[in-house]
Structure formats: structure tokens, C-alpha cells
Amino acid sequence: MQPALRISIPKPCREQFASFETVQGGGFCHACQKTVQDFTGMSDEEIVLTLQNAKGKICGRFRTDQIKTYNRMANPSVQISTLRGGLLSAALLLAGSSLHAQEISGKEKISADSTVIRSTIYGTVRSADDKSALPGVSVFVRKQNRGTVTDQDGRFSLPVNPGDIVEFSFIGMVSKEYKVPSAEKAGVDINLDMLMKCDVTGEVAIERLYTEKRSLWSVIKSWF
């Protein structure tokens, strides 16, 4: 039997999560006097592990793409694999930031299409919801081969030309764009807030499913 976990929110809450009092792990809703767990930044493994360890009913906030069936239940090894995955992601992020810093060093920057770069934009990308920094946001120049990602503090730096359109994208967030001013400048400092695409808050309904592992013999018998 292969265990699975299906979650849903039958009666979404009408209260806005942004209005909740901030508490550890989520927000406190004064309307229903409950703490709402924020799952929007969790991985699939972290969601399953949290729900399995929950005692009693739980209210949560999810991205719409997170309300689904999870085919593999969490086990103690998940915590280790999640940690390893986080360390690997951090290492890749730092390596990418270091490489990007090397690429844009020097007085004159040259892009992959040999265009002379005359300016630089830099700044911070944050969540519009709680103003927290967003690491790993993709920042790239439209129709060009220039791009980078934000670091662990949400900071970025990118060589551009006047008139370039820079796009910011992140999983679960509404993409945004920024047009570099036509007037040539030595550098442009921008601060950008990104909104979540869509989220649902409410009491979580959990259904445990089991799918039978069929043997080769049972498959053959079903043919007859």
C-alpha cells in the first residue's frame, strides 16, 4: 500500500491574512481566535511533515498550487533530506552570486551579444505581504542574455542599458517588470515588492489515501 495525503480547504476564510497579528509560523486571527499556519513558503515535504505532526484541527494559509494530493507521506528522513536540499540550494545561490559579481566587475560591461553596457540597476526584492526579503528571485533583461538572482537578503545587481525592460519572476508570485530610464545614469537603485499570485486560508481537511501496489501476477490475472 502506497500512502498519500490529500488536503483541501472546504470553507475558505474571508479574513485577510495580511491583517492578522504576526506570530511564530503564521498569523493570529482575532475573528476566530485561532493561529493560522503559513504554508506558502514550505516545500512539499515540509507541508506533509507539519500536517502529520499536527495535533487536532489546523488552520493554514496555502498557495493554490499547494492544495493537492501528496503522493508520498513524510518520514524522519525527510528532515535530513530537506536540510541537505536547503544547503545545496544555498550553495548554488552563493555560487551564482559570486559568478555574477565576477561577470559585472570592471568599468565597462559586455553582454553575451557584445552590446556595451552603460548602466547598472541594483536594489532589493521583498514580499508585499510581510516585507520579508525574497532570495532566489529571477532578474533578467527581456530579449537579452543577461540575468541574475537575488541573494539571501533579496539584493541584486544587474548591468543594463537605458530603455531595457527587466523582468522579476518567482514561483508563486506575480511577475513584475521595470523599464530602465532612457536617460543614461551611473546606477539606479530600486526596491520592488512582489505579490503572491493567489492564496487560500482556512481550516485544513486532511484525507489519507492508500493505493495498492499490484504485483506482476495480479496484473496478468486481470487480463483474463
DSSP per residue, 25-70: TEEEETTTTEEEEE-TT--HHHHHHHHHH--S--EEEEEGGGSSEE
Query: What CATH number matches the domain at 106-194, 3.90.420.10, 3.40.50.720, 2.60.40.1120, 3.40.800.10?
Result: 2.60.40.1120
Residue 55, classified by CB atoms within 10 Å of its CB into exposed (0-12), middle (13-18) or buried (19+), is: exposed
Nearest-angstrom CA–CA distance, 157 and 2? 47
pTM for the predicted model, two decimal places: 0.50
pLDDT of residue 47: 92
Nearest-angstrom CA–CA distance, 152 and 157? 13
Torsion of CA 32, 36, 40, 56, to 10 degrees: -110
Hey, is 111 helix, strand or coil? coil
Q: In a structure prediction context, what are the per-residue pLDDT tens digits for the chain, which is 224 residues long?
A: 557 888 999 988 888 887 889 898 889 998 888 899 999 888 889 999 998 888 888 999 998 888 889 886 555 444 444 444 444 444 445 545 444 444 433 333 333 444 566 788 889 999 887 788 889 999 999 988 889 999 999 999 999 888 899 999 887 778 889 998 876 555 677 888 887 777 888 899 988 876 555 556 665 655 65
Sequence spans of domains, the chain: 2-76+198-222, 106-194
Find the helix or strand (DSSP H, E) in which 79 lies: helix 76-103
pLDDT of residue 185: 59
